[in-house]
Amino acid sequence: MRGTFRVPAHGPVVSRPFPASPTLDEEDEEDRFVNRPCYEFNDDLTSAWNDRHCAHCRHYLTAQCPHIDEFLDDVEDLTPE
């Protein structure tokens, strides 16, 4: 009795490493935008979102934000060269 051999249709199995855990510098970077004294919760959001992150602040990315330059600098860092 002879059997047939079929080549698998999928390509080779490639294992990918898990993403690296954030470094301390990245964590410090994220902390820059949390729990600032100027924070005012945006009442248009659900109260469960009141985590003191700048993204949930009433003044986030507005002219009233005293730190708007920091946010704009952060965005400029993400633009491709």
Q: Is residue 26 part of a domain?
A: no
Report the predicted TM-score, pTM, of the whole model to 2 decimal places: 0.54
Q: Is residue 10 part of a domain?
A: no
In this predicted structure, what is the pLDDT of residue 51?
95
Q: Is residue 63 part of a domain?
A: yes
Strand ranges inside 1-81, DSSP E:
none
- How far is it, in rounded angstroms, from Cα 19 to Cα 21? 6
In this predicted structure, what is the pLDDT of residue 21?
46
Q: Is residue 49 part of a domain?
A: yes
Per-residue pLDDT of 21-71, as tens digits, reads 454 455 566 788 899 999 999 999 999 999 999 999 999 989 999 988 887
The domain tally of the chain equals 1
Q: Which amino acid is at 81?
A: E
- Burial of 30 per CB tally in 10 Å (0-12, 13-18, 19+): exposed
What is the residue range of 69's domain? 33-76
